[in-house]
Amino acid sequence: MPRPTRAELDAEIVEAAAELFTAQGYLGTSVQEIADRVGYSKTGLLHRFPSKERLLAATLIGPLTEFAALRATWGALPEGPERHRRASADLVDLALRHRSRLALLFNSGLPVLPGALAGVEGMGDLGDHRTETLAAFADADDLDGTIRAQLAVTGLLSTVAARQDVPDDLLRAPLLSAFRAACGIAAHPVPREGSAC
């Protein structure tokens, strides 16, 4: 069996960290636990990722990059049902692609982490991600809609993290339907390139 490449080892470490951070919380997870999960020494792991903060940043960079692009897309759409449907389908797809990681983006404890995350690209935007995501599912002056959206987003992230046993293709339709129902978004489809709503 060929030895894994550096990129493959790093990806395995980052995925293990994301799973543990999601399951146990960032503060409840030690670097040793991450090293044990991947069968790597703590010293070796810290050689690749010098701190737990850097591991957290590595788990978030992929979803943050994709999320920023989605926010720009949603921001270009006028407020209303079409924007809500498009954003709901996009967020469900993003959640399925990054099951264990996306929940970390909405964890309200992240902005109070040590300053080590402050210099990491995208980390300063976590509050904006949460605020603008909720705005994509409810009109600005609709408090009831915003509360429904907040509950729906939290439920979506918890569900995709908890239902690792269900393949994406089986989970997407009921997840999207339930998410839209929770947000009060009409169910008729919106045309999208490369994906059916």
- Cα-flanking dihedrals φ and ψ of residue 59, to 5°? -70, -25
Domains along the chain with CATH numbers: 6-183 (1.10.357.10)
Q: Which two tokens stand for residue 178?
A: 């339930």
- Cα-flanking dihedrals φ and ψ of residue 58, to 5°? -65, -35
**Host H or E run for residue 114:** none
- Specify which of 25-29, 32-36, 78-82 reaches the highest per-range mean pLDDT: 32-36
Contact 113, 52 (CB under 8 A): no
Give the angle subtended at the CA of 34 by the CAs of 11 and 166, to the nearest 5°: 65
Is this model's pTM higher than 0.85 or not? no
Judged by average pLDDT, the poorest of 61-65, 78-82, 125-129, 146-150 is 125-129
- Distance CA(60)–CA(180), nearest Å, equals 25
- Residues 51-80: pLDDT tens digits? 898 898 888 888 878 888 888 898 899 988
- Residues 86-116: pLDDT tens digits? 999 999 999 999 887 776 766 545 544 545 4
Q: Which amino acid is at 55?
A: L
